[in-house]
């Protein structure tokens, strides 16, 4: 199975990288941008063959390594 994990900073946590992109876009002439926030995406190829097991494993992986749950949220999408 394949899993996509999206890790983003929690609301309220300062995102200097997003702010830098926002500033650059304004400098490049893209005026209609209200806000930009940057995060990370991970594509995992799993040996697990059922959705529940895959989801449990990916959740453990996120909590252990991929996300810092103090300042980051993560979302898991499992696909076949």
What whole-number distance in Å separates Cα of residue 3 and Cα of residue 26? 34
Question: Closest approach of Cβ 55 to a second copy, in Å?
Answer: 13
Please give the backbone phi and psi of residue 67, each rounded to the nearest 5 degrees, phi first: -125, 145
Residue 11 contacts a second copy per CB under 8 A:
no
Residue 51 contacts a second copy per CB under 8 A:
no
Residue 48 contacts a second copy per CB under 8 A:
yes
Query: Based on the number of CB atoms within 10 Å of its own CB, is 38 exposed (0-12), middle (13-18) or buried (19 or more)?
Result: middle
Residue 76 contacts a second copy per CB under 8 A:
no
46 contacts 57 by C-beta, under 8 angstroms? yes
Residue 32 contacts a second copy per CB under 8 A:
yes
Nearest CA to 9 among 59, 67, 48, 58? Answer: 67
The correct pick among 31, 52, 70, 80 for binding a second copy (CB under 8 A) is 31
Q: Which residues contact a second copy (rule: CB under 8 A)?
A: 6, 8, 18, 21, 24-25, 28, 30-48, 57, 60-61, 64-66
């Amino acid at each position: 199975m394949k899993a996509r994990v999206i890790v983003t900073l929690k609301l309220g946590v300062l995102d200097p990288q997003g702010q830098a992109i926002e500033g650059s876009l304004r400098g490049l002439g893209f005026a209609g941008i209200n806000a930009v926030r940057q995060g990370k995406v991970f594509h995992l190829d799993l040996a697990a063959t059922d959705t529940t097991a895959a989801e449990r494993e990916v959740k453990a992986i996120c909590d252990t390594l991929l996300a810092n749950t103090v300042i980051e949220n993560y979302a898991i999408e499992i696909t076949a």
